[in-house]
A and B are shown apart, each in its own frame.
Chain A
Amino acid sequence: MANRRDPNDPAIVRAPWGPEVDGRRLLAESVGFGRALRAAGLATDLGASVDFARALTLVDMGQRDTVRAAGEAVFVRRRDDREVYDRVFNRWWRRRGRKRPAGDGPAVPTDDESAAEAEDGLGSPGGDEGTLGDDTNRIDGIPMAIESDEDADGEIDGIIAAPTAYSSSELLRHRDFDRMTAAELRDAERLVDLLEPRLELRRTRRYELHHHGRLLAPRTMLRRNMATGGQFTEWIWRRHTKRPRRIVVLCDISGSMERHSRLLLRFVQALSAASSVKTESFVFGTRLTRVTRLLRDRDRDRALARVADTVNDWAGGTRIGESFQDFNRHWARRTLRTSGVVIVVSDGWDRGDPALVATETARLRRNCHRLVWLNPLAGTPGYEPLAGGMRAALPYVDDFVPAGTVASLERLGEILAGIRSSDVRRGGDAAASADAGERQSSQAIRSIAPPAPLDVASDPVAARPLSPRGSTR
């Protein structure tokens, strides 16, 4: 930096907005900022930092908002990152302003900056609570390690599961998973192995050539028959390619499900790990938490441990209605696109308003291709869906399946393979006729009779899924 004033130095660039600037210095600043963003959890790379340095020579560096917007365009890649970005930027900008009077010369800042900062109320020396002591972490005034900063708003990394509005009745409890035993792991994997080849396929809009296809492939035919001058000598056929449908799992982890949730989560995890199926997973008790990314971890024990750490409404109450509402509003369009299969794992015990459960389940059903409900209690002899939430949701469920043990889960494979599609697609009609109005949905609740009790041991019919219609017939 000593020869910064050397006019022949190629690193000196003249910004259109002010005095000349040392390009190396600018780059160092940008890289430092990028590093701070990465430390805060943003997925940035060196390319973005270089872009930012280039961007800084193009915009007015003295204007806080312009620099902020420039960095945002370069570093931010999804909406949820903006908040983190803003926080890191504010801190970075404050530091830039602060280190200038330390006699380091007018490297990056321009004269406009002090004015801009004064307007923002950030320019006053000592005006913030920043820790001057960690200057040792910086190289030449570049903020190196913002993660060591102990500001009150420091916890910006990782997934934020901050307690929100819910309060009184919510029981926050962390829960540790024991390590999975080898046998348990095998069980879960066996289950998915059984399931995977049987998953229902969705016809995509792409084609493949196939001699059993039903559609002509004119493009290929013309091309192949070019040699004969356009005389068609062979027929070429194509058909739609097929892919497994997306699966979205909503797993209840409330107190009443405690005994089952471990097994079921393992199942969900094994499903997520299977590469051919796109699986999104959520857990809910009193609130909905997305755990897709956590479960994708190759180390299965670590994945479950992370879920346990992230979720903090383990074994508390259940709010099915609110959780579904959250899903419908924020996730359904992004994860389902109406062609996915939703698997709800819950016993249907709910503290909330059954009318809300009915409305939101109907909406959920309209958003997906098929709604499967796994109920761990349904396997017990004499079970009737009397729990308020279960009763409300049942009319909109396509397949109602007992799910207490690995053995009963195997039946799910059959459902997902679409084998029973003729007699179970019922929830869709109910959801289509259900309106948002409370009147209709409460009628819908009343209109279903509780299913007849099933004796699993003796009744061969119990081997098939207990669907609403099947049981009332």
Chain B
Amino acid sequence: MSRTIEPSSNTPLDSVESIVAGFRERDYVCDRSLATAVFLALRLDRPLLLEGEAGVGKTELAKVLAASLGTRLIRLQCYEGLDVNAAVYEWNYPRQMLEIRLLEARGQADRANAHDIFGPDFLIRRPLLQALEADPDGEPPVLLIDEIDRADEEFEAYLLEILSDFQVTVPEIGTIKAARPPRVILTSNRTREVHDALKRRCLYHWIDYPTAQKEFEIVLARVPDAPEQLAREVVAFVHRLREADLTKVPGIAETLDWAAALLSLGSRELTGEVVDETLGVVLKYEEDIRRIRGDTARSYLQEAGATA
């Protein structure tokens, strides 16, 4: 559900209410407890660790936050083996080589010293350094450290250092410290437990699946062309699925995908056939699809129809 969010009018996010409203303006429906966590993270200058099942809008929140603050979003996607060279900085070796050759050609090589080559000009700035070096006068950027649970523990330990002091030491240049610390959002899908020391530096919020009413609002906000009836039925059906005994229950992202898929198929309402044909948008495991398709889907539809 990636999309571009226009950093239009930036509302000052100076209260819980204004965060709820500001996010709503950008089609992100959030409840008060999440807004409170965001508000406190902003005011206390603390990173915010968001956990929750896949597809509940953790990454999206960072995007919306950046747009609401009218600032840049810097994203660091974590993976196993992520190291300083990919996350913080790297020297631009080819350029350094060229520079040496150039100096040689001009006959100035003897006067060149290490500072000329290992200077800021030859530094490739990776996301973490970008976030620290941002314009000191402007609004600090939002740094999204996505899926921290996928990084290995070595990186987590390194991150700990950055998140406590918001500074990085490049041996050849010196210490780079953020004039104003970036707003940090970390997300985790809990494929492993994030270390306690890192958690201690963060505020924490677990994002639950929304209530049916909230999810209905989300569908209307994000798939604006969807007829209300269809949205209501889709949400009711997905909520029924979440109670079922499945390998992987659908998240909000799947609900939205499904609503959009149905819309592009021209369906105005959910029927048994339509559900069977498009179930792959919502359920991603063959065994789950096999289980729901057919009679089960029809009985869910009836239940959903009763509540919708």
Contact = CB atoms under 8 A, between A and B. Distances in A.
Interface residues of A, number: 43
A222 B191 contact: no
B212 interface: no
Most buried by B among A55, A69, A223, A328: A69
Given A205-B80, A329-B247, A55 B40 contact: yes
Contact of B152 (A45, A60, A206, A333): A206
Contact of B204 (A77, A229, A329, A363): A77
Interface in A313-338: 328-329, 333-335, 337
Contacts of B40: 55, 58-59, 70, 73-74
B152 A66 contact: no
B240 interface: no
B302 to A, nearest CB: 24
Interface in B32-49: 32-34, 36-37, 39-41, 43-44, 46, 48
Nearest to A80: B206
Contact of A437 (B39, B96, B97, B290): B290
Interface stretch (B1-9, B68-76, B195-203): B195-203
A5 interface: no
Contact of A66 (B36, B101, B285, B286): B36
A60 B90 CA distance: 46
Contacts of A222: 93-94, 96-97
Interface string B78-97: 01110101000011011011
Nearest to B207: A79
Contact of B16 (A66, A74, A205, A219): A66
Contacts of A76: 204, 206
Given A51-B44, A223-B93, A435-B287, A59 B39 contact: yes
A86 B205 CA distance: 14
A66 B38 CA distance: 12
Contacts of B190: 79, 333-334
A78 interface: yes
Contact of A72 (B46, B97, B205, B291): B205
A66 B199 contact: no
Contacts of B79: 205
B286 A73 contact: no
A470 interface: no
A206 B154 contact: yes
A337 B80 CA distance: 12
Interface residues of B, number: 50
A333 B154 CA distance: 20
A66 B206 CA distance: 16
B51 interface: yes
A222 B109 CA distance: 18
Interface string A52-65: 00110011100001
B81 A204 contact: yes
Given A78-B193, A205-B80, A334-B190, A223 B91 contact: yes
B270 interface: no
B100 interface: yes
26 contacts: A47-B200, A51-B203, A54-B44, A58-B40, A58-B44, A66-B16, A69-B32, A69-B36, A73-B37, A73-B204, A74-B40, A74-B203, A78-B51, A205-B152, A206-B83, A218-B93, A222-B94, A229-B97, A229-B101, A230-B100, A329-B247, A333-B191, A334-B190, A337-B192, A436-B287, A436-B288
Interface of B: 16, 32-34, 36-37, 39-41, 43-44, 46, 48, 51, 79-81, 83, 85, 90-91, 93-94, 96-97, 100-101, 104, 109, 117, 152, 154, 190-193, 196, 199-200, 203-206, 247, 285-288, 290-291
